[in-house]
Amino acid sequence: MKVSVKVPATTANLGPGFDCLGLALPVYNEVTVEETVMPGSGIEINIIDENNMYDVLSIPKDENNIAYKAIELLYNFIGQSVSDIKITIKTNIPVARGLGSSASVIVGGLVAANELLGKPADNAVILSIASEVEGHPDNVTPAIYGGFCISSIEDDGSVSFSKIDWPEEWKLTVIIPDYELDTSISRSVLPESISVKDAAFNVRKCAMLVDAVYKQDSEQLKKCLKDKLHQPYREKLIKGFKELNELLENKEDILGCVISGAGPSILVISKNDGFEKVQNEVKNIFDDFNVECDIRTFDVENQGTIVI
């Protein structure tokens, strides 16, 4: 028996919402989990990049694979050991680009294995395990539930979250550069502590951002996408981000520009066809840095993970 699931990409943080805000995007990885026929055959992990677009050779194909680690925790939760299994991951989400590729395979492995086991774990357990493996809930929550999600890991390891409707007229453009940025490197540049002033700044902006989405208030959103926790430190690693922000700051129908997750992808939020009007100017910025980039504009993916 085998189960396949489709999991969306995600973009996290949205500026001030460090490790707690995330959006699902309509790009998908497909994860299949099956029990192998031959007992004692162990773990088999296959990575399929159908479009030959991403470097998947570095992805572990043994017990260190994050999908396997998540599955192992699920089996432990129900008091079992992992049987001989085969995991197949078809990748369409860019790897190490700040678009939730790791979250997608963690969630995909968990949901598929849970189905295979007869669904002993509810969504709350799946979310808790996924957040434990990923280290934070901002990507895994929208990967499971879709849409715009606010999430928090509680002291007992459970995850509280809320999903708010994302305005249909707010479009999401992702600028995906042709180089990787490992999350560990992106986190290593963050300071160990910040001032109370900067912390208060982010609390204000994050609260107002959530309110702007809830009210579907474009003018308010424009004021809320600033950050002092991570972007000032990470922007040094992301070619063109500072210049792009300066270009888009006062453009009509552009609501804001933020680092997607840990980067190096960049998320631009616009109204209607606002981004189309400036796309050539944006491309020129990255040409100046000799960076090839893939520019894609999406509506939010509201469905989340589905069993195929």
* CATH code, domain with 281: 3.30.70.890
> What pTM does this model have?
0.94
Domain shared by 183 and 234, yes or no = yes
Identify whether residues 115 and 260 lie together within a single domain.
Answer: no
SS3 173: strand
Q: Are residues 189 and 46 in the same domain?
A: no
pLDDT (0 to 100) of residue 83: 77
DSSP secondary structure of 224-268: T---SSSHHHHGGGSTTHHHHHHHHTT-TTEEEEEE-TTSSSEEE
Asked if the model's pLDDT at residue 229 lies above 70, the reply is: yes
- Same domain? For 72 and 159 the reply is yes
DSSP state letter for 278:
G
Q: Are 139 and 274 within one domain? A: no
Q: What is the mean pLDDT of the chain?
A: 93
281 with 155, same domain: the answer is no
Determine the pLDDT at residue 51: 64
Average pLDDT over residues 137-145: 98
Q: What's the pLDDT score for residue 165?
A: 97
**If you average pLDDT over residues 224-230, what whole number do you get?**
96
Same domain, 258 and 216: yes
CA distance 87 to 93: 17
pLDDT at 52: 62
Q: What's the confidence (pLDDT) of residue 56?
A: 65
Distance CA 103, CA 292 (A): 25
pLDDT in tens, 88-106: 999 999 988 999 999 999 9
At 36, the pLDDT band (50, 70, 90 cuts) reads: confident
| 43 alpha carbon, distance to own chain's centre | 27
Evaluate whether 14 touches 266 at the Cβ level (below 8 Å): no
Number of structural domains (the chain) is 2
For the stretch 159-170, pLDDT in tens is 999 999 999 999
Residue 43's CB is within 10 A of a number of other CB atoms, namely: 17
| Confidence grade of residue 61 (pLDDT, cut at 50, 70, 90) | confident
Q: Which residue has the tokens 């078809």?
A: 90
Which CATH number belongs to the domain containing residue 109 in this structure?
A: 3.30.230.10
Report the range of poorest mean pLDDT among 32-36, 212-216, 253-257. Answer: 32-36
Same-domain pairing of 160 and 13 = yes
Residues 119 and 237 in one domain: no
Shared domain for 8 and 111, answered yes or no, is yes
Residue range 132-144: average pLDDT?
97
- Mean pLDDT, range 183-200, rounded to an integer: 94
pLDDT 10s digits, 262-300: 999 999 999 988 999 999 999 999 999 999 999 999 999
Same domain, 144 and 7: yes
Judge whether residue 115 has pLDDT over 80. Answer: yes
Range of the domain at 223: 170-298
Considering the domain architecture, whether residues 159 and 34 belong to the same structural domain is answered as: yes
Instruction: For residue 21, name the pLDDT band (cuts at 50, 70, 90).
Output: very high
Q: Which pLDDT belongs to residue 129? A: 97
Helix/strand/coil (H/E/C) assignment for every residue in 150-184: EEEECCCCCEEEEEECCCCCEEEEEEEECCCCCHH
